[in-house]
Amino acid sequence: MRLCLFCLLLCASLGGQPAPDSATDAASRTAHIEGQVLTQAGEPLRKVTVRLTLNENRRSNPVYYTDTTDGAGKFVFEDVIPGRYMLSAERTGYLLQNYGARGPTNSTPGLVLTLAAGQSMKDLDFKLIPQGVITGRVIDADGDPMPGVDVWVSSMNRFRGKSQLSLRGAGRTDDQGGFRIANLSPGTYYVSANDTQPRVRPQEIAGRPGRVLNRASSVITYYPASLDAAGAIGLQILAGSELRGIDIRMRQEPVFSIRGVTIDAATGKAATANLIARLKGDSQNGFGLPWETSSREDGTFELRNLLRGEYVLAASTNNPSDPATGREEVSLSDSDVTGVKLTLSKGTTVTGSVKLEGDGPPIHPMIALSDLEGMLGRSSNAQIEDDGTFALHGVMTAKYAVLVDALPEGVYVKSIRFGQQDVTRTKLDLTSGVSGTLDILLSPGAAEVSGTVRNKDGVAMSGVEITLWPRGMPPESVWNGLSSSSTDQNGDFHITGLVPGAYYAVAWEEVESGLIYDIAFLKRFESQTTAVTLEEGSRQTVQPKLISREDVAAEAAKLP
């Protein structure tokens, strides 16, 4: 009886102290966001996939959350780990879009959302942009439809200081010669048709034309009937627009073949390989190689339907762990070229070591060589051994940029030496052969920069891009010397892992991603930048000047 009375008194004394609420405790340690996806007219959009992705350099196991909008267009993310996030949304018939992006495409950086423990953000609304569409037909000189023809839609951008076409969409004509390319963002596009791809397997013998002299064949044709992009008509796509009647009349021109054999340099015997041919200095085909084939089991190959010109032939084997490549230059004038011997060499093995200054746990970054000439492609990543050594196999004679990726936060590349050469901020030139080891020294004293971007009225600017680049940076170092970030909802930014030194800092109201990797473009704004000098391990606060989208467009138009 006394025990029951004691229990009743104990329960009564705890009546004003509720038991710990696990849900409340979790909410105090995580963040919560919600919003709505709408059409341009403000109508709710259901069945939209919304993704919240942690804005960190995680090559494996990236942190992200997904939700699908309901009938009211609403989405919710609960129990979100604190951090800096990017928010995106996509739905069939609409463009993939980053929240807060100042441009219409998914390549435009969006607004970084900085989420703290216990924070709740609401009213994050998207207005998705409807896709653009181009439809038309591919016909021959007589107006007859051409089925099974590849159609490419591309736009002009900048790459390593040059204008070139980049693929934005592709399709193939149906039995009536018709095509439809969708999912296009607003902009100017160039459409081309290509009927030159072989329709046979490598081991089969391709049919050859009966009339050898003055033979003509279909060649890559740009809308409406041009042999190159310079004579093409740009098509303007608006949000949600559909351009119809874009008919391409396929050109017939004299074409020629390059025939030969691929040889293994080590054995002197025939070897199979993949081959491509590209016009020397040509950037129009950067989005897709129109002339490609594979050698047969006896090593013979034929590249067909080539126009007159100077070509670079490149061949490579399919074994990534033990690659072999070859390269030849061939001139086509008024006849086929036969008897070409493409020798496949395994190249050279470049060895090296990675060391970290001071005491600390061993780290294992990724080491790679990027071909600056663009024909050989990127070599295989090196595997870092426990003792810090590595080996890059199949390295050919070329000019490379040395890339060191996946570094821990706070660590930077202090020096890279190849034999007696310091290649930390310049190219690695192996055209004269390989002599030396690649020694990479890392330091834990990386610098950091943070700040707030404001416009001329002092208003904080969210979702704008900030770029830092070293003063006197050579063009070949732009890929690993430049750093970029975006401001969050408060106009704040934070850039880590910076190499100590002198920098230019600037903020862009809106800029095409390829432009910030163009040294000629960056130099036009050096007088408007904020100077930053970073010491080892320093943390500085800066306020970069904001460049308007009008000034960006004006200077970009002056580039060759």
Taking residues 410-437, report their average pLDDT: 88
DSSP-H helix ranges across 1-72: 2-13, 22-29
Give the pLDDT of residue 433. Answer: 74
Taking the complete model, does pTM exceed 0.85, yes or no? no
User: Hey, which bits of 242-347 come out as E strands?
Assistant: 242-243, 248-249, 252-254, 256-264, 274-279, 291-294, 300-306, 309-316, 325-332, 337-344
Check if 348-443 and 447-556 are the same fold: yes
- 132-254 sits in which CATH class? mainly beta
| pLDDT 10s digits, 42-70 | 999 999 999 999 976 544 456 789 999 99
Q: For domain 348-443, give the CATH superfamily.
A: Immunoglobulins (2.60.40.10)
Give the pLDDT of residue 282. Answer: 61
Is the predicted pLDDT of residue 474 greater than 90, yes or no? no
Residues in CB range of 518: below 8 A, 6 or more apart: 158, 160, 161, 478, 559
Give the pLDDT of residue 455. Answer: 93
CATH number of 257-344: 2.60.40.1120
Among all chains, which residue has been given the structure tokens 């040294």? 519
| pLDDT 10s digits, 406-423 | 888 899 999 999 988 899
Confidence category of residue 374, pLDDT binned at 50, 70, 90: low
Cβ–Cβ under 8 Å, residues 365 and 405: yes
Most confident segment among 161-175, 308-322, 338-352, 446-460: 446-460
| pLDDT 10s digits, 259-291 | 999 999 989 999 999 998 888 766 444 444 457
Give the pLDDT of residue 189. Answer: 96
**C-alpha–C-alpha distance, residues 303 and 293, integer Å:** 7
Rounded mean pLDDT of the chain?
85
Burial category of 120 from C-beta neighbours within 10 Å (exposed 0-12, middle 13-18, buried 19 and up): exposed
Give the pLDDT of residue 324. Answer: 84
Taking residues 124-140, report their average pLDDT: 95
Q: Which CATH architecture has domain 447-556?
A: Sandwich (2.60)
Give the pLDDT of residue 4. Answer: 44
Where do the structural domains in the chain lie, given as residue ranges? 28-127, 132-254, 257-344, 348-443, 447-556
Give the pLDDT of residue 500. Answer: 96
Q: For domain 28-127, give the CATH superfamily.
A: Immunoglobulins (2.60.40.10)
Q: Which of 90-94, 225-229, 318-322 has the lowest average pLDDT? A: 318-322
Confidence category of residue 100, pLDDT binned at 50, 70, 90: confident
Give the pLDDT of residue 211. Answer: 55
Give the pLDDT of residue 373. Answer: 66
Angle at 486 between CA 110 and CA 238, to 5 degrees: 35
Strand order in the sheet with 31-38: 74-80, 31-38, 120-127
Is the predicted pLDDT of residue 210 greater than 70, yes or no? no
- In the three-class reduction of DSSP (H, G, I as helix; E, B as strand; rest coil), residue 230 is classed as helix
Of 287, 103, 115, 302, nearest to 186 (Cα)?
Answer: 103
- In the three-class reduction of DSSP (H, G, I as helix; E, B as strand; rest coil), residue 514 is classed as helix
What is the helix (H) or strand (E) element at residue 422, kind and residue range? strand 421-422
